[in-house]
Structure 1
Amino acid sequence: MKGGLFLKATSILSVCFATLAQSQSPLTPQTLADLKQVGKPVASPDNQQVVFPLSQFQSAQNQTYSNLQVHSLATNQPMNLTEWNNYTSSASPAWLDQQTVAFVHNANITDPQSGTGLYTVATQGGGENNQDSASPQPLTNVTAEFSNLKYNNATNQLFFLASTYPNKTLSESYELDQRQALAGSSAVAYDQLPGDATPEAGDQKHQAIFALPVSKNGDSFEATGEATNLFQSYTGAGFNAVDYAVSSDGVLVAFVAEAAGPNGTVTNMYAVPANGTETPFALTNNTEGQVTNPVFSEDGQKLAWLESSTPDYQAGRNQIVLCGLANNNKTEVASDWELSPTKLAFSGGSESLYAVAQDAGNQKLFLITPGGSNSTSGGGAGGSGSSSMSESSATETETPTAGGAGGEEGTPSSSEETSPTNSQESSDGEGGSPTAAGDIATPPPTGQDNDGLGLSNRRRNYRRGFSMEEERDWYIYAIRSLHPKAGEGEGEDGTPQELTQNGTVTDMASVGNNTVLVTMSSIAKPPELYAVRTPEGEITQVSQLNSEALQDVMLSEPEPFTFQGSNGQDIHGWVVRPSNFDDSTNYPVALLIHDGPRDAWTDQWNNIWNPNAFAGAGYGVIMINPTGSTGYSEQLVNGVQNQWAGAPYDDLMKGLEQVGQNYTWLDTSRTCALGAGYGGYLVNWINGHNSDFSCLVSHAGVFDPSSAYYTTDNPAAIAYDFGGPPFQNSSRDTYDQWNPARTVDQWKTPTLVTQGGNDTRINPAQSLSTFTALQSANVTSRYVLFPDEGHVIQKPGNVLRWHQEVFSWMNQYTSENGTSTEGGNGAAGGGGSGSGGEESSSSEASSTETDSSATESASSSA
């Protein structure tokens, strides 16, 4: 297949590399750790400024500081809004008005018991120098673990997430935690499986949504009352809010909450009045699936979210669900779209949706306008062929139409779907639990008949003077009257329009009608802010956070390649050339294997699995997206089921072999395979099926899928891929077939094992088992544990130590006179048969401990 679809280097490219090498140096782990990390952008109410958290590791103090930075969108002029030093951190900004930002402030990041507070800061007090930064002012005297701030100027309420105990205020919950810490007990009790969003929240502690009333007094804001717990009437346990959205008039809050299920956590969409007077009620009734990303339109007429189409698995393909509150219609948007969106936002004019989705090695921004000429109307108040993204066109003198799915104008598709009198009886649930999806609010809005019609007219009547209570009733009635099956099969199938082509979009914020701010990166460029104009897709860079730090650093651009995989499908991957590349030199190979299995290597900057860091260490880097990787056909994504190390392993070996044949400067006889999570599992599998690798690195790798099922925070994910839990007769053979532990007697390759001690996704016992197996089999091995890390190594000091360990290991066994105990003679991809999510990068690194937090066992020789 030489030549084929591969992109090959030219002599001109080689000359360019040689010229750059004279003035640039490779990317080192220290330079990588020292870069600034940009957080999620938030646009000001007048769309003239954007604020975002910015964090940076300070080597001298071994701490990561974070502040808030403001950029003018007109001039791109940056300004520090809060200071960098004094061991403080600033996060989760929310605009209160055009000159004031509320945020979460930690006054002492070195004290794990210090907690955080709510503060405000005026934008006019900032400056480019730290000394000119504004002085934050406390908004309340309450200490808690605040996050995800959102402000609604219609009701003057500041919303946030915080963990609390039942029947306890925030202050009481914080004091209880402090007393327990002082008592010397760190015990946490569970009556159900802990959720992966808040795994530490046992003893019925849960994360709730709060609403704090605030008002402006002169030039500053102050709290005018206590924060209201919107879950105060909920009496159950294990119910944790994960994400939420507030309607533009501040009347209703839609939120995603997770609860324990028999096979792990499941998430559903709920709604609750913002005044906290009612129990949350459910908008979805998943027993196994996942729901994410609620967003209200600016006009308050629409609510959208993402819902997984695959039961029991959080990485299933997401569908866009759109609720038209003016016509009681619930539809799927772009239902035939093969890609799986991961983020969602409305445009400023409420007419379109922005979506982010992986697509063949990139994570792109898309624009979707439902109900256009290329889509089918969901029927309802707008009439046949009109867009459900627009407010009903009925005038006040017209008879309001029913919101039936697919019906002709003024004609409901079925009386059972459009009339509340034919729906199930209203229920507020038993024992304070959230009510079921599709329940109808008991009292209709004041002065209206209980007929389920005319909601758009009621909405306009509110604009002429309905009270806030009547507006709240309207919302409750409208959202509870959503017909769960309305519009099914008749979705608003607007064709997604690609706005970005290359790189990876991670965050976005709508700015006005025709602009969206995004955080975007690539393998050769760390995250920066960009403004994307629609519909033309014109992109303008807004920030230059790391340009100076990287101006003398050589960063290799990724080169895409494609080959035919084990099942005959095209498999995509990337090659990254070593720094100071010389085409007359043969280079050792780093084969990076992504986590997942449903994840992918995209053209994205990564804070630990950074291909340019490996290139800077002198390695040619190969990253392959084998069967099971996301951003490709659904057939390819789900091809990993019941064969975790079947087609994926074969794809890796075939790809490695063919890349070596087409890139002759790669010396595949000196290859090290490295992976994390599922990638670490494949590394363990390689050890028992292919002895041609010089060395291996397994981070948080699964050793035994059966035992991993019982110790992960998401057992449903494993059960889904193996055909059920391991105790079922029907799936036992699958677990046994794809178990690396079965072939430990064949393990021969020197292996470095690394692990985070607080990992809830892959229990540390899996890596310890891997190391025990290696030592018992007399294989050269080393185990490095980071006790204070989770599944991903994030703290910069630990990231530096991880790179030190990994590069030392690789250099020892991939040098031209390396000491590999087996193989090393011929292409590493030439042996073995397999037939027998991306490591995420942290946008805001946590504070670090000293290097002594990494502990390791003594190495042994075979």
Structure 2
Amino acid sequence: MKRFVVSISVLLIAFASIVVAQDSRRFTIAELLKVRRVGDPQVSPDGKSLAFAIGDVNFDANRTVTQLYVMPLAGEAEIKRLTSGDSSASGPRWSPDGKRIAYVTGGQIWIMDNDGNDKEQVTKISTGASGPVWSPDGKWIAFTSEVYPECTNEDCNRQKEEQAAKSKVKAHLTDRLLYRHWVEWRDVKRTHVFVIGSKGGEARDLTPGDFDAPPYAVAGDVDYAFSPDSKELAYLRNPDKVEAISTNSDIYIVPTVGGAAKNITVRNRGYEDSPIYTKDGKHVLYRSQATAAFEADRWRLMSYNRTTGAISELLRGFDLNVEDMVMTPDGSSIYFIAGERGLHPVYKVDSSGGTAQRILNNVFATNLQITPDGRTLVFAHSSLAAPPEIYRVHQDGSGLGPLTRINSEIMSPAGLKEAEEMEWTGALGGKVHGFLLKPMNFDPNRKYPLAVLIHGGPQSAWNNSWSYRWNPQVFTDAGYVVFMPNPRGSLGYGQQFVNEISADWGGKVFVDLKNGIAEVLRRNSYVDKSRIGGAGGSYGGYMVDWILGHNNDPRFKFKALVS
């Protein structure tokens, strides 16, 4: 938390020389941190209730504490809190009969009644447990734990944990690549998939060995799933010996009781993830990237035939990344989300394959769910002017509306304005897209400084969605016009646009950015061209440094640059 406050504060301090005074401040960093974090909606098996999570910043403890809630899916009723205390609770998952909810708290899997009563601890594992998934028959819960690969039982793992805690040696020695991911050491323990009886007992490691399942640098929220008969489980694993230069995460199938696992995607050398079984159990659906060792390839929707072993791509002529996907209860169709021009519209395709039909536009949808009757879709939606809330819409895309308004009291006084879309001509005559936000209390007769925010990745994008990190509204509140360009390399504009940054991080993308800034100045007389600042992190920081050493564009100069 302190790191975030310091980071965003440094940007604003660095830009202080180019900012103007504001008549009022309505959305400062402090206000941003008050915004409650709504997400992970889960529809009950009977379609009548919705469980979800809300995170609140605990300023005294310097962390975010998440708790679980439930409400009628019909809406217009009181939201009931299910968990409480100083420890976070997350990952609510309904039992198949809808009577109980599995969740994670204190690093272990717990189960409670659907009204929050009768809480019971299911796992008691020294290495912790997360990501609960119920088997369809309700007898098992799958989860992951970071264990010592040389250990074959809990006693061994516990002894290793105790020895590590008691050791006075804190130096870290490694002899392999991929030893760290962000701020975590990853070369001592491995993530494994376990199953445990839903009433507790001894946990069974389904993926023993010196590998991660699922691979931590690739996997989504939960990348394992039970078959409809609960007899087997699909999961991810990278079989290559040198994982640091490989993106070959394959899908394996293993019996729930343990045993030999089968690699069902061995022929593809790119990523696979997000396996789900079809309702009849005849196919496994998943996402796949075709190009080996390329993290930014297009995510395709694939189907594996469990009888013949045949693999087919389900979407014809679709040039966007497939994100969340759910199957209709009758198994006839698949709804999915795809990133497109800074949004996450919802699409539909026949389960046998075909052309995608967009059923919902102008949303940034995540955590897609479907009701058991197949009539309603539920998801989290946000924009650059509104934090995530849970929404519902009819299966045909009509009747869109919010189920929750958790942040209405915080956001209404702020009066945040929606972003404007911009398009301009970039390198080689190609069209480039981005977003522009005007400052608070905007007066077209005044002059305002411009903050150019450059996203990381580089194969990422600025989206019309809420961010708890690089939130442009903090800049607009401080008096800036904010420009958020998506130059080539950005996602949501087709795979060729993504590929055009490969081996050219400072070339065409630099032209895209310069032309975008010049176009902002040309179109908007209220922008003061003598007060332009640029900022970015990760690849955005790389590009800021590139600008520092290369920009000699006569159309504008930067007053401040922060990387």
Deviation, structure 1 residue 299: 2.8
- Is 2:362 the counterpart of 1:502? yes
Residues 164 and 170, structure 1, Cα contact 8 Å, conserved in 2? no
Go from structure 1 to structure 2 and tell me whether the alpha carbon gap of 1:44 and 1:239 turns closer, same or farther (over 3 Å shift): closer
- In structure 1, the residue matched to 2:8 is none
Letter in 2 for 1:258: N
For residues 242 and 487 of structure 2, the distance between their equivalents in structure 1, rounded to whole angstroms, comes to 31
Is 1:193 aligned with 2:178? yes
Q: Is the counterpart of residue 33 in structure 1 residue 24 in structure 2? A: no
Q: 1:629-640 to 2 correspondence within 5 Å?
A: 629-640=490-501
> Residues 283-340 of structure 1: CA distance to partner in whole angstroms, max 9, x if unpaired?
1226752112111123322211111123211111111111233565321011421112
Do the aligned partners of residues 530 and 188 (structure 1) sit closer, same or farther apart at CA in structure 2, a change above 3 Å counting? Answer: farther
Q: Say whether the 8 Å CA contact 1:267–1:286 is kept in structure 2.
A: no
The structural deviation recorded for 1:198 is 10
Q: Partners in 1 of 2:76 and 2:111 — Cα distance?
A: 23
In the alignment, does 2:38 pair up with 1:53?
A: no
For 1:533 and 1:335, the matched residues in 2 are separated by 25
Paired position in structure 2 for 1:89: 88
The aligned counterpart of 1:251 is: 231
**What residue is the counterpart of 1:672 in the other structure?**
533
Deviation at 1:663, TM superposition (A): 1.0
1:43-82 correspondence to structure 2 within 5 Å: 43-82=43-82
1:365 aligned residue: 346
Instruction: Find 1:230's aligned residue among 206, 216, 220.
Output: 206
The 1:194–1:552 alpha-carbon spacing in structure 2 relative to 1, beyond 3 Å, is same
Find the residue that maps to 2:514 and give its secondary structure.
helix
User: Does the Cα contact within 8 Å between 1:272 and 1:278 map onto a contact in 2?
Assistant: no
CA RMSD in angstroms comes to: 2.4
Match of 1:314 in 2: 295
Q: Partners in 1 of 2:384 and 2:434 — Cα distance?
A: 13
Q: Is the CA contact 2:42–2:92 (under 8 Å) kept in the aligned structure 1?
A: yes
Partner of 1:347: 328
| TM superposition shift of 1:606 | 0.6
The match for 1:330 among 286, 289, 311 is: 311
**How many corresponding residue pairs?**
527
Q: Determine which of 471, 481, 494 is the counterpart of 1:610.
A: 471
- Check conservation: 1:268, 1:290, Cα contact below 8 A: yes
Who is 2:109 aligned against? 118
Q: Rate the CA distance shift 1:185–1:52 in 2: closer, same or farther, 3 A.
A: farther
Of 446, 469, 472, the residue aligned with 1:585 is 446
Considering fraction of residues, name the structure with more helix.
1
Residues 174 and 521 (structure 1), Cα distance of their counterparts in 2 relative to 1, 3 Å cut = farther
Change (3 A) 1:197 1:590: closer
SS at 1:41 equivalent? strand
Give the Cα separation in 1 of the matches to 2:366 and 2:289. 19
2: CA distance, partners of 1:514 / 1:554: 34
Residue of structure 2 in register with 1:145 after alignment: 128
Check if 1:687 corresponds to 2:548.
yes
Equivalent residues in 2 for 1:441-452 (5 A)?
none
Provide closer, same or farther for how the CA distance between residues 213 and 198 of structure 1 changes in structure 2, counting only shifts above 3 A. farther
Would you say the 8 A contact 1:509–1:518 is kept in 2?
Answer: yes
Q: Letter of the 2:163 partner, please give it.
A: R
Contact (CA 8 Å) 1:193, 1:264: kept in 2 or not?
no
Cross-structure match for 1:655 = 516
1:557 corresponds in structure 2 to 418
**3-state DSSP of counterpart to 2:427:** coil
In structure 1, give the amino acid aligned to 2:224.
Y
Instruction: Give the Cα–Cα distance (whole angstroms) in 2 for the partners of residues 83 and 616 of structure 1.
Output: 35
Q: Structure 2: which amino acid aligns with 1:325? A: R
State TM-score, norm by structure 2.
Answer: 0.88
Q: Give the aligned residue type for 1:559.
A: E
Q: Spell out the pairing of 1:419-458 with structure 2 (5 A cutoff).
A: none
- Any conservation in 1 of the 2:147–2:192 contact (CA below 8 Å)? yes
Give the alignment of 1:371-382 within 5 angstroms: none
Aligned to 1:570: 431
Q: Alpha carbons of 1:157 and 1:198: their partners in 2 closer, same or farther (altered >3 Å)?
A: farther
Q: Partners of 1:348 and 1:549 in 2: how far apart?
A: 38
Give 5+ residue unaligned stretches, structure 1: 1-20, 107-115, 126-133, 215-221, 371-387, 389-491, 699-862
Q: State the one-letter code of the partner of 1:206.
A: R
CA distance in 2, matches of 1:695, 1:348: 55
Secondary structure of 1:631 counterpart: coil
Change (3 A) 1:263 1:100: closer
- CA pair 78-292 structure 1, distance change in 2 beyond 3 A: farther
Q: Distance in 2 between matches of 1:551 and 1:118?
A: 37
| 1:295 aligned partner | 276
For residues 198 and 284 of structure 1, the distance between their equivalents in structure 2, rounded to whole angstroms, comes to 31
Matched residue type, 1:227: A
Task: State the distance in 2 between where 1:206 and 1:90 align.
Answer: 23
Measured in 2, the distance between the counterparts of 1:238 and 1:323 equals: 23
| 8 Å CA contact 1:573, 1:622 repeated in 2 | yes
Distance 1:181 1:159 in 2: 28
8 Å CA contact 2:225, 2:275 repeated in 1: yes
Give the 3 Å change call, closer, same or farther, for CA 197–279 of structure 1 in structure 2.
farther
Is contact 2:191–2:211 with CA below 8 Å preserved after alignment? no
Offset at residue 71 of structure 1 (A): 1.9
Tell me the SS of whatever aligns to 2:505.
coil
Q: Partner of 2:400: helix, strand, or coil? A: strand
1:560 partner letter: E
Matched residue type, 1:505:
A
The 5-angstrom pairing of residues 711-730 of structure 1 reads: none
1:547 Cα offset (Å): 1.0
1:522 partnered with 2:383: yes
Could you tell me which amino acid in structure 1 is paired with residue 113 of structure 2? A
Which residue of 2 is the match for residue 183 of structure 1? 167
Deviations 1:348-373 (A, max 9, x none): 22211122111112122211114xxx
% identical equivalent positions: 26
Contact residue 266 and residue 286 of structure 1 kept, 8 A: no
> Structure 1 pair 351/595, CA: closer, same or farther in 2 (3 Å)?
same
Q: Distance in 1 between matches of 2:210 and 2:109?
A: 28
Structure 1 residues 336 and 606 mapped into 2: Cα distance closer, same or farther (>3 Å)? same
Correspondence 1:163 to 2:146: yes
Question: Matches of 1:664 and 1:527 in 2, distance apart?
Answer: 33
Counterpart CA distance in 1 for 2:384 and 2:370 is 25
* Alpha-carbon distance in 2 for matches of 1:136, 1:155: 17
Question: Conserved in 2, the CA contact under 8 Å of 1:198 and 1:240?
Answer: no
- Three-state SS of the structure 1 residue aligned to 2:396 is coil
| Distance in 1 (alpha carbons) for counterparts of 2:283 and 2:109 | 30
Residues 148-199 of structure 1: CA distance to partner in whole angstroms, max 9, x if unpaired? 1111241510111111123333454244223212213343534453475996
Q: Which amino acid aligns with 2:204?
A: T
Is 2:148 aligned against 1:283?
Answer: no
